[in-house]
């Protein structure tokens, strides 16, 4: 029988570092999308809190802590990372396993926001975008989810098939920011 070896989306691509900024791959143990049924948002939030420890995040918000997080990912949808989602939550909303569908990266270090400023048409400076906030936006023509995970770090999700392009574009921007000093 063939021996199959699982590869992470950014296998062989990361980590990379440029001056003060580094890009590393994050490998959440699970990624699940959760879409509450119409009119069930409140019950869904209560059920999610009971099952996974965090409430349903509102638009542009992320909830939970390292280990089990919920990231708002669009109208009526959030991604639940790092923790399994009990099947009985299916009475409140649609659950889809997306664990293998996304490349997740962390861009960290002084100047990380300057790197993203070259690729993303949203103001991601600390004054406008605080830890725990998230945006669904485009990163150099790729649909992306960007969450501020710390004062100088961002968690970036792109579709798995874009992993190589995303790493390339981020690396080019990192080099460009570094070259300016």
Partner 1 sequence: MRIKCPLCGERDRREFYYKGAAIDLARPAPDAGDVAWDDYIHNRENPAGRTKDLWQHEMGCSAWLVVERNTVTHEIYGVELAENVKRGMK
The reply to whether 137 sits near partner 1 by the rule CB under 8 A is yes
CB of 117 to partner 1, least distance (A): 13
Task: Enter the tokens of residue 166.
Answer: 């995303």
- b/e map 8-37, b = 16+ CB within 10 Å: bbbeebbebebeebbbbbbebeebbbbbbe
Tokens of 123: 């103001």
Q: Which stretch binds partner 1 (CB under 8 A): 3-11, 42-50, 90-98, 129-137?
A: 129-137
- List binders of partner 1 among 72-91 (CB under 8 A): 74-75
Options 2-10, 18-26, 43-51, 137-145: segment touching partner 1 (CB under 8 A): 137-145
With binding defined as CB under 8 A, does residue 135 bind partner 1? yes
Strands 68-74 and 77-81 turn out to be antiparallel
Which CB atom, from 48 or from 146, has the smaller least distance to partner 1?
146
By the 8 A CB rule, do 84 and 95 touch? no
Name the residues that contact partner 1, by CB under 8 A: 59-60, 74-75, 121-122, 135-138, 143
């Amino acid at each position: 029988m063939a021996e199959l070896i699982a590869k992470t989306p950014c296998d062989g691509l990361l980590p990379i570092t440029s001056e003060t900024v580094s890009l590393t791959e994050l490998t959440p143990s699970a990624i699940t999308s959760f879409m509450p049924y119409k009119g069930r948002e409140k019950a869904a939030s209560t059920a999610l809190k009971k099952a996974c420890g965090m409430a349903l995040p509102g638009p542009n918000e992320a909830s939970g802590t390292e280990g089990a997080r919920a990231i708002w990912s669009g109208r009526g949808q959030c991604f639940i990372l790092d923790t399994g989602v009990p099947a009985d939550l299916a009475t409140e909303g649609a659950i889809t396993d997306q664990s293998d569908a996304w490349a997740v990266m962390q861009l960290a270090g002084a100047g990380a926001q300057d790197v993203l400023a070259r690729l993303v048409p949203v103001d991601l400076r600390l004054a406008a975008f605080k830890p725990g906030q998230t945006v669904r936006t485009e990163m150099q023509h790729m649909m992306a989810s960007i969450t501020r995970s710390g004062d100088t770090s961002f968690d970036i999700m792109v579709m798995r098939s874009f992993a190589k392009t995303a790493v390339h574009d981020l690396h080019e921007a990192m080099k460009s920011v570094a070259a300016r000093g």
